[in-house]
């Protein structure tokens, strides 16, 4: 069943909107595309650029030797998987003749058509595929900066932060309180904090049965709220408490040493473990390059995912403004393929192919139980829109078998999309 | 340019020029009553785009106004363009006032102000509502939590900062519930802040004010304690004293 599901999922991914421009001309083969960022969008772009145009010079600028995925990192927090299970490296891309430059991109010099690296080196480009992901907005919550995140981890970029939060959960006494603080929209992976709450609650029910979990939310409602709250009630009873903005759930100040949070209307909360997910923005390279708007995210031209302010720069993934598509790994992968097709068409002097996108977000309520939300997207009147009738949400009243089936689909999706992005065999 | 081309341009431009405020046109004209509004001094800060039009944060700043001050917040794209009217008797200058508004689609947010000397200001900002597939509509408030009134008062360099939020669905009567039937209209009628010297602020809320209505402003010292008072549609009152 699982293998069949994986094959079906791979077939589904292969059927994603993809139109290779016919008759790639010589200008394409001579061109150099710099891919900034090796996450879901960047890795997908590098792989598909090289696959569709083998003569193209594709350079991946990514300081790390491996990427740890945010999807499925909540499983690590709950002790259901090891951190290594999230690890994706760039060896398959290198075998595909993608040149991996292990350096951070500092900014894009749009005038000189060069990407400036952290060490000062400059790389010329014909096109840039910008997929830098997110940075935390360290100015948003008083007292919460990079140092504070060593005590109150955000764990919203997987890796060391994930391990830190996991260790804190393990070290906590039975009976200790866990707090998850959730920012206002937009942020990476809208249902992610609530899946995290579910899986940490599962861990607590097994390892710290007297412990509880409090969600302090800056919003008045959240993604898949009814599904999550029904699941929490059924699976965890009173273990999870959600406090929205109206209940004074918006955190405005943090004291990392005292492990204390202060909310908008003065309520103070101390906890044994605090997972503070702060507001976010497009990563620094996008800011430095002057590509973001006042919101801190990068506006794009929806049909091609070119940066609105620079037509040689294609932007995909969490850094760009692609709403109503959520900031998800599925979206990043789908956006990257469409943007690559548009980029290649552009290099070939052709019109970009029309495209549609799909997104699905799976969330685990517990091991072996998941819910999902999915929708299709297109461009209408030069805007990205959710296609009418395409939104699909797991039913509220569902047999356990359906939740189990969705959990298997989630696992298959994860394996498939990682293989699709980083090129490793399943 | 030929006369025909000029006439065609006027025909095309005419309706837009005559109705720049869309559904709020009549309300704007009633407020202005033919007077010329100034734009200098009034700024409206609102995101140029939002994912969630149900909760759009708005920050107003007004320099140089004298009390009493009347404000009208309007939106250009809805059948009922009214968001709220606000009467202010005192504030720490310049006036800084924040709230959250409801914009179901991309449109203009319009703010009008008239001070005690009869001066009128007008400002407007466009907001693009992108929506998001991952948003959930508010599940509403249970009877147990309806009317819970949050408040916070903090002295700072620029007077007393007051923040308040009422847990209230602000149901417009236009939204279907889980059973597909329209939820009954349920809007409060009034919000007041009274200090030791009398009334400081009075708000009349309309459909365009976001659920769980939020207000933030800076007041001069010397008026505390403050009594916050919401009056619901059925006459029920929700009160809180600060500090």
Q: In what order do the strands lie in the sheet with A310-315?
A: A99-101, A57-61, A32-36, A127-130, A310-315, A306-307, A300-301
Q: A392 in contact with B at a CB cutoff of 8 Å?
A: no
- For B130, the 3-state DSSP assignment is coil
Write out the DSSP string of A48-89.
HHHHH-TTSEEEEE-S-SEEE-STTHHHHHTTSS-GGGGEEE
Per DSSP bridges, beta strands A87-89 and A177-182 are unpaired
Q: Do B136 and A221 touch (CB under 8 A)?
A: yes
Of A380, A382, A379, A362, nearest in space to A371 by CA: A362
Residues in B touching A324 (Cβ below 8 Å): 51, 130-133
**Cβ neighbours, 10 Å, residue A425:** 5
Q: How far is CA B180 from CA A223, A230, B94, B177, B183, in A?
A: 20, 20, 46, 5, 9
**Cα–Cα distance measured from residue A405 to residue A299, given in angstroms and rounded to the nearest whole number:** 37
The CB-based long-range contact list for B31-40 (8 Å cut-off, 24+ gap) reads B31/B72, B31/B112, B31/B114, B31/B120, B32/B112, B32/B120, B32/B122, B35/B120, B36/B120, B37/B112, B37/B120, B37/B121, B37/B122, B38/B119, B38/B120, B38/B121, B38/B122, B39/B121, B39/B122, B39/B123
Cα of B151 to nearest chain A Cα, Å = 6
Smallest CA–CA distance from B162 into chain A, residue = A265
Express each pLDDT in A169-223 by its tens digit. Answer: 999 999 999 999 999 999 999 999 999 999 999 999 999 999 999 999 999 999 9
Q: A356 in contact with B at a CB cutoff of 8 Å?
A: no
The answer to whether residue B3 sits within a structural domain is: no
The answer to whether residue B11 sits within a structural domain is: no
What ipTM goes with this model? 0.88
Q: A352 in contact with B at a CB cutoff of 8 Å?
A: no
Express each pLDDT in A215-224 by its tens digit. Answer: 999 999 999 9
The answer to whether residue B226 sits within a structural domain is: yes
- State yes or no: pLDDT of B12 exceeds 50: no
- State yes or no: pLDDT of B83 exceeds 70: yes
Of B96, B111, B102, nearest in space to B201 by CA: B96
The answer to whether residue B13 sits within a structural domain is: no
Range of the domain at B157: 21-242
Angle of CA points B98, A179, A72, to nearest 5°: 105
Residue recorded with tokens 């599901």: A5
pLDDT score recorded for residue B135: 77
pLDDT score recorded for residue A20: 52
Name the segment(s) of chain A with CATH classification 3.50.50.60: 2-136+281-422, 148-278
Q: A223 in contact with B at a CB cutoff of 8 Å?
A: yes
**Cβ neighbours, 10 Å, residue A170:** 13
Smallest CA–CA distance from B137 into chain A, residue = A221
pLDDT score recorded for residue B29: 95
The answer to whether B8 touches B2, Cβ cutoff 8 Å, is no
Cβ-in-10-Å burial (0-12, 13-18, 19+) of B92 comes to: middle
Express each pLDDT in B150-196 by its tens digit. Answer: 999 999 888 999 999 999 999 999 988 878 889 999 999 999 999 99
Per DSSP bridges, beta strands A310-315 and A240-243 are unpaired
**Cα–Cα distance measured from residue A259 to residue A254, given in angstroms and rounded to the nearest whole number:** 8
The answer to whether B66 touches B115, Cβ cutoff 8 Å, is yes
* Least CB–CB distance from B133: residue in A222, A265, A324: A324
Smallest CA–CA distance from A249 into chain B, residue = B150
* Least CB–CB distance from B47: residue in A248, A264, A295: A295
Does 3.50.50.60 match the CATH number of domain A148-278?
Answer: yes
The answer to whether A160 touches A152, Cβ cutoff 8 Å, is no
- pLDDT (mean) for B195-222: 96
Give, in words, the CATH class of A2-136+281-422.
Answer: alpha beta
A-interface mutation test, from B136, B156, B215, most A Cβ less than 10 A away: B136
Smallest CA–CA distance from A386 into chain B, residue = B133
The answer to whether residue B228 sits within a structural domain is: yes
Q: How far is CA A381 from CA A314, B118, B177, in A?
A: 20, 43, 31
For B117, phi then psi, to 5°, come to -95, 10
Q: Do A190 and B132 touch (CB under 8 A)?
A: yes
Q: Do A245 and B152 touch (CB under 8 A)?
A: no
Cβ-in-10-Å burial (0-12, 13-18, 19+) of A408 comes to: middle
Q: What is the CATH number of the domain that holds B111?
A: 2.60.40.2470
Region for residue A338 given its phi and psi (left: phi exceeds 0; alpha: psi -120 to 50; beta: otherwise):
alpha
Q: B105 in contact with A at a CB cutoff of 8 Å?
A: no
- State yes or no: pLDDT of B16 exceeds 70: no
Of B142, B161, B135, B168, nearest in space to B51 by CA: B135
Region for residue A155 given its phi and psi (left: phi exceeds 0; alpha: psi -120 to 50; beta: otherwise):
left
Angle of CA points A67, A291, A193, to nearest 5°: 45
The answer to whether A317 touches A300, Cβ cutoff 8 Å, is no
Q: Is the pTM of this model over 0.90?
A: yes
pLDDT score recorded for residue B131: 85
Of B74, B113, B110, B118, nearest in space to B94 by CA: B113
**Cβ neighbours, 10 Å, residue A25:** 12
Smallest CA–CA distance from B53 into chain A, residue = A185
pLDDT score recorded for residue A23: 52
Smallest CA–CA distance from B132 into chain A, residue = A324
pLDDT score recorded for residue B4: 54
Listed as ranges, residues in chain A with pLDDT below 50 are 1-19, 21
Residues in B touching A375 (Cβ below 8 Å): 133
The CB-based long-range contact list for A110-114 (8 Å cut-off, 24+ gap) reads A110/A289, A110/A290, A110/A310, A110/A312, A110/A313, A113/A312
B-interface mutation test, from A221, A223, A394, most B Cβ less than 10 A away: A221
Buried b (16+ CB within 10 A) or exposed e, A319-347: bbbbbbbbbbbbbbbbbbbbbbbbbbbbb
- For B100, the 3-state DSSP assignment is strand
**Cα–Cα distance measured from residue B203 to residue B86, given in angstroms and rounded to the nearest whole number:** 5
The answer to whether B141 touches A220, Cβ cutoff 8 Å, is no
Instruction: Please state the domain count of chain B.
Output: 1
């Amino acid at each position: 069943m699982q293998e069949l599901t994986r094959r079906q999922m791979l077939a589904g991914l292969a059927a994603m909107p993809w139109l290779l421009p016919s008759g790639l001309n010589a200008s394409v083969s001579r061109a150099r595309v710099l891919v900034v960022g090796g996450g879901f969008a960047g890795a997908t772009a590098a792989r598909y650029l090289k696959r569709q145009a083998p003569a193209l010079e594709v350079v991946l600028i990514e300081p790390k030797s491996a990427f740890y995925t945010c999807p499925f990192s909540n499983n690590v927090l709950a002790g259901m998987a090891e951190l290594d299970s999230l690890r994706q490296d760039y060896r398959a891309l290198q075998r595909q003749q993608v040149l991996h430059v292990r350096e951070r991109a500092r900014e894009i010099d749009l005038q000189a058509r060069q990407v400036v690296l952290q060490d000062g080196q400059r790389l010329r480009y014909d096109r840039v595929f910008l997929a830098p992901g997110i940075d935390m907005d360290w100015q948003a919550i008083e007292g919460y900066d990079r140092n504070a995140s060593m005590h109150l981890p955000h764990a919203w970029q997987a890796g060391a932060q994930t391990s830190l939060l996991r260790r804190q959960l393990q070290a906590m006494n039975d009976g200790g309180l866990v707090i998850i603080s959730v920012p206002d929209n937009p942020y990476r992976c809208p249902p992610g904090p609530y899946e995290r709450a579910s899986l940490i609650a599962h861990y607590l029910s097994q390892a710290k049965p007297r412990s509880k979990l409090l969600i302090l939310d800056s919003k008045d409602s959240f993604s898949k709220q009814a599904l999550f709250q029904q699941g929490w009630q059924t699976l965890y009873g009173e273990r999870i408490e959600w406090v929205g903005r109206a209940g004074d759930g918006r955190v405005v100040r943090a004291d990392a040493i005292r492990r204390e949070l202060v909310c908008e209307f003065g309520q103070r909360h101390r906890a044994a473990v605090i997972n503070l997910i702060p507001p976010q923005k497009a990563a620094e390279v996008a800011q430095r390059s002057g590509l973001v708007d006042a919101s801190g995210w990068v506006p794009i031209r929806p049909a091609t995912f070119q940066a609105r302010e620079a037509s040689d720069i294609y932007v995909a993934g969490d850094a760009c403004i692609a709403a109503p598509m959520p900031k998800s790994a599925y979206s990043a992968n789908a956006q990257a393929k469409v943007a690559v097709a548009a980029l290649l068409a552009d290099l070939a002097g052709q019109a970009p192919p029309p495209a549609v996108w799909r997104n699905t977000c799976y969330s685990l309520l517990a091991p072996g139980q998941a819910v999902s939300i999915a929708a299709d997207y297109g461009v209408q009147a030069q805007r990205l829109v959710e296609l009418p009738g395409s939104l699909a949400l797991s039913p509220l009243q569902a047999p356990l078998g359906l939740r189990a089936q969705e959990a298997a689909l989630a696992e298959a999706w994860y394996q498939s999309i990682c293989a699709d992005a980083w090129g490793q065999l399943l | 340019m030929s006369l025909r081309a000029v006439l065609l341009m006027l025909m095309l431009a005419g309706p837009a020029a005559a109705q720049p405020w869309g559904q709020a046109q009549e309300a704007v004209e009633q407020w202005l009553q033919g007077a010329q509004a100034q734009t200098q001094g009034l700024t409206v800060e609102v995101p140029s785009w939002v994912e969630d039009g149900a909760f759009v944060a708005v920050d107003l700043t007004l320099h140089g106004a004298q009390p009493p001050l009347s404000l009208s917040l309007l939106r250009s794209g809805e059948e009922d363009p009214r968001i709220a009217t606000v009467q202010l008797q005192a504030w720490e200058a310049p006036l800084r006032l924040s709230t959250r508004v409801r914009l179901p689609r991309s449109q203009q947010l319009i703010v009008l102000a008239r001070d005690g000397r009869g001066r009128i200001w007008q400002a407007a900002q466009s907001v693009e509502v992108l929506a998001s597939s991952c948003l959930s509509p508010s599940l509403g408030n249970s009877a147990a939590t309806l009317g819970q009134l949050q408040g916070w008062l903090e002295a700072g360099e620029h007077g007393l900062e007051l923040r308040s939020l009422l847990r209230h669905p602000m149901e417009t009567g236009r939204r279907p519930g889980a059973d597909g039937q329209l939820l009954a209209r349920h809007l409060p009628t009034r919000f007041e802040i009274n200090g030791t010297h009398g009334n400081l602020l009075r708000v009349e809320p309309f459909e365009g004010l976001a659920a769980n209505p939020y207000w933030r402003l800076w007041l001069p010292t010397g008026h505390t304690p403050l009594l916050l008072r919401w009056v619901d549609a059925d006459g029920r009152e929700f009160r809180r004293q600060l500090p």
